[in-house]
Amino acid sequence: MNNIVSLKWLLARLYETDIVIVDCRFQLGKPDFGREAYEASHIAGAVYLDLEKDLSAPVDEHGGRHPLPDITDLTIALSKVGISNETRVIAYDDQGGAFASRLWWLLKYLGHEQVFVLDEGFTAWQNAGFPVNAEQKVLVPSRFLATVQHNMLVEMDEVKEKLGSENMTLIDSRDGARYRGEVEPLDKKAGHIPGAINRLWSEAKGEGGRWKSADEQAARFEDLPKDRETIVYCGSGVTACPNVLALQEAGFSNVRLYAGSWSDWISYEENPIEVGEEGNASKA
């Protein structure tokens, strides 16, 4: 399954009328960073969607730090920037593909198939001498109709119910130190969901920040059975998305996102927590 497109692929199709290029740059803790970076310079013709304003709902008691956006609100935001059901969407960022993958996942979740993540990101595009500018594209609204793929998403109750199941693989996409509970810079509790294994999301990328090939992604997950349901989470449901994409590239077909992720899990006081290494974890 090809979910990644190269810089040269996009360059050759830059002005095709059915393509919408979406700048997804964002920086945690700096809410205006992405919009300001976009306004300074972006891939020619790109539009901007913001992780927290467009691709997430407001934070609540539960749902994590980046709750999934309301489907109606999201379809309106997509339609406003010219995305229809027939559009080919190319998402990019400059943060390793994490935020572009969030848009990729959301569009797939809404039933949109023709969505891709741009390999390498904005700086590589700019360094290659490909067209950039600061012009604001005149937005011609389109009409996007969602066909929600509910099987792509899993909620906290279902994750909890399936803990310890031999038919489910649970993947934590965060840095190893956070997974083990040694540090926690963002959330109120440290550790991981019991039984989860650790596969750092950024290991989907190889030399020069390029996405690994399908065979290389398969090698990352070769110890995991493909016939099992695979549930992926991270801190807030964003950096899990590159792992979902990588698992699909590797040939896994039953992959689901726990969108609320760790920040949602710990919002329920009674939920169990583990700390320590895989296979040697203890209850926190």
Residue 235, SS3 per DSSP: coil
Return the H-helix or E-strand segment holding 42. Answer: strand 42-43
How many Cα neighbours within 13 Å face the side chain of 178? 19
Q: How far apart are CA 160 and CA 178, in angstroms?
A: 20
Instruction: Just list the catalytic residues.
Output: 234
Between strands 282-283 and 255-258, the pairing is unpaired
- Cβ contact 264:64 at 8 Å: yes
Query: Exposed, middle or buried by CB within 10 Å (0-12, 13-18, 19+), for 1?
Result: exposed
Could you tell me which of 111, 93, 243 has the C-alpha nearest to residue 172?
Answer: 243
Pair of tokens at residue 91: 């998402």
